[in-house]
Structure 1
Amino acid sequence: MEKKEIVREKLTLPSEGKKLLLHSCCAPCAGEVMEALIHSEIEFTIYFYNPNIHPRKEYDLRKEENIRFAEKHNIPFIDADYDVDHWFELAKGMENEPEKGIRCTMCFDMRFEKTAEYAAANGFDVISSSLGISRWKNMDQINDCGVRAASRHENMDYWTFNWRKKGGALRMLEISKKERFYMQEYCGCAYSLRDTNRWRVNNGRKKIELGKNYYEE
């Protein structure tokens, strides 16, 4: 069966923005977003700030793949701090909150605030994130956090574009398979890893083995 070709629309930044800083969580999520931006001839830079990702081995796997894909397309890549201790400090009292709950809101707020701060200091007038393309995420929650972060800086917008629509989610998987990206099996944080492994054990499955599974065509 032939793959259905995606018909891409020409995207434009909101409010006549000129320069986009794209927060990226990982290569599988960012791949389709980056491809869509390149097709639309939008100037952008990747900003990798994800101190929530645990443990460090998982963090490095996700970051290095994102760097590889950015370099393949000559996209500038900003490698931000892994201030994991600060993330754990902010997460205190939220250790047992469910996915998509207040801990995730805190996590998005932390990452987007840092993204917006960097954008304001370096001439970017629009920020966005690849996080919203994942069906495991609440897009309204992500957009609310992004808009809130951008609103703290004059003349800055958070782009709430729905990257999942018009075949975006499908193309995300196609790129992941073509590039043989690392297949992430939990959201990223220590508590997500804990809860995913608990679910697996309770359902007769093995715990997650970091760095083992990759997408294949």
Structure 2
Amino acid sequence: MKLLLHVCCAPDLTISYKRLIEQNINPTLYFYNPNIHPIDEYKKRLNEVIKLKKIWYLENIEAEYKQKEFFNAINKNLNNNRCYECIKLRLKKSAEIAKKNNFENFSTTLFASPRKNHDMIKSIGEKIAKDFELNFMYFNFRANDGVKEAAKLCRNMNIYRQTYCGCSYSIFEAKKLEKISKEEKYNNLVENIGEKNANMYFKNFKKDVLKIPQDIPYSVIKDNINILKNFKPRIILIKKEIAQEFNIVKSGRIKLKDWKGKFIVW
């Protein structure tokens, strides 16, 4: 089956492609996202898609980056929400390209995004498809732990994972949410280890490699290792003798109560 697949980003493409191949569908990619801001971020995301395209030997139809098209779309339709108009713009352009290149079917990797509304995307896609006499295909790429599997694929393939949706508005929203999250983590630490210790060690928030006991001493976590989740580290480097206190015997992703972290035991 020929399918034009609108690609919003490489992380969502990973699981989308995997699920399509399982159904014997080999898509042609179309990365059309004038919403992405700034242009350096756009280039970074595009390059990650190109990376996957080369790995999987996929066909690709190039799209121009015209950010004015995004702002024109949302400014002309102020009665609708911004995200609705953004998705409508991208799917309509995808339908135009599908029609032009003799595709009968089109879809989008937006169905893999963890926070997107499937009903809204499906409704928009089907209305557009009717106008262009095409078939808009719905796939629940998030099903069966699709989001977790996409994250794993990104780690294994060294794919950049963005921290905000794409537009300038979402940058502001992401920063606002990050500030709220940081305050929440700090308050949790104050509640668990006291304000003095929280102030002393919270400088390690979101540190790539959090070292135990160099950065956080054993005395801070001895009663509750889950305290570490408030620092949001990528990797925890933990001394063997300390790891044994928590029944951690080898390196790997380890679940402790309601939290899972990547530990390297040394």
Matched residue of 1:115: which SS? helix
**1:197 is matched with which residue?**
175
How many residues align structurally?
186
Whether contact under 8 Å (1:19, 1:43) holds in the other structure is yes
Gaps spanning 5+ residues in structure 2: where? Answer: 184-233, 236-261
**1:157 is matched with which residue?**
135
Matched residue of 1:46: which SS? strand
Identity across aligned pairs (percent)?
Answer: 34
**1:145 is matched with which residue?**
124
**1:188 is matched with which residue?**
166
Instruction: Report deviation, 1:42.
Output: 1.5
Gaps spanning 5+ residues in structure 1: where? Answer: 1-17, 206-214
CA distance in 2, matches of 1:34, 1:47: 13
Determine which structure has the larger strand proportion and give its number: 2
**Counterpart code for 2:178:** R
Q: RMSD of aligned C-alpha atoms?
A: 2.2
Whether contact under 8 Å (1:128, 1:159) holds in the other structure is yes
Q: Does 1:42 align with 2:25?
A: yes
**2:52 is matched with which residue?**
69
CA distance in 1, matches of 2:16, 2:179: 34
Q: Which has the higher contact order (CA 8 A, sep 6+)?
A: 1
Whether contact under 8 Å (2:29, 2:58) holds in the other structure is yes
**Counterpart code for 1:107:** C
Runs of 4 or more above 6 Å deviation: none
Matched residue of 1:91: which SS? helix
Instruction: Report deviation, 1:36.
Output: 2.0
CA distance in 2, matches of 1:93, 1:75: 36
Q: With the length of structure 2 as denominator, give the TM-score of the two structures.
A: 0.65
Which of 73, 91, 110 aligns to 1:90? It is: 73
CA distance in 1, matches of 2:126, 2:17: 21
Matched residue of 2:30: which SS? strand
Tell me: CA distance 1:183–1:106, structure 2 relative to 1, closer, same or farther (3 Å): same
Q: With the length of structure 1 as denominator, give the TM-score of the two structures.
A: 0.78
Instruction: Report deviation, 1:46.
Output: 0.4
Greater C-alpha radius of gyration: 2
CA distance in 1, matches of 2:69, 2:29: 22
Whether contact under 8 Å (1:19, 1:123) holds in the other structure is no
Deviations for 1:143-199, whole angstroms, at most 9, x for unmatched residues?
111112211112x11111211112322221111111121121111000000122233
Whether contact under 8 Å (2:77, 2:85) holds in the other structure is no
Matched residue of 1:92: which SS? helix
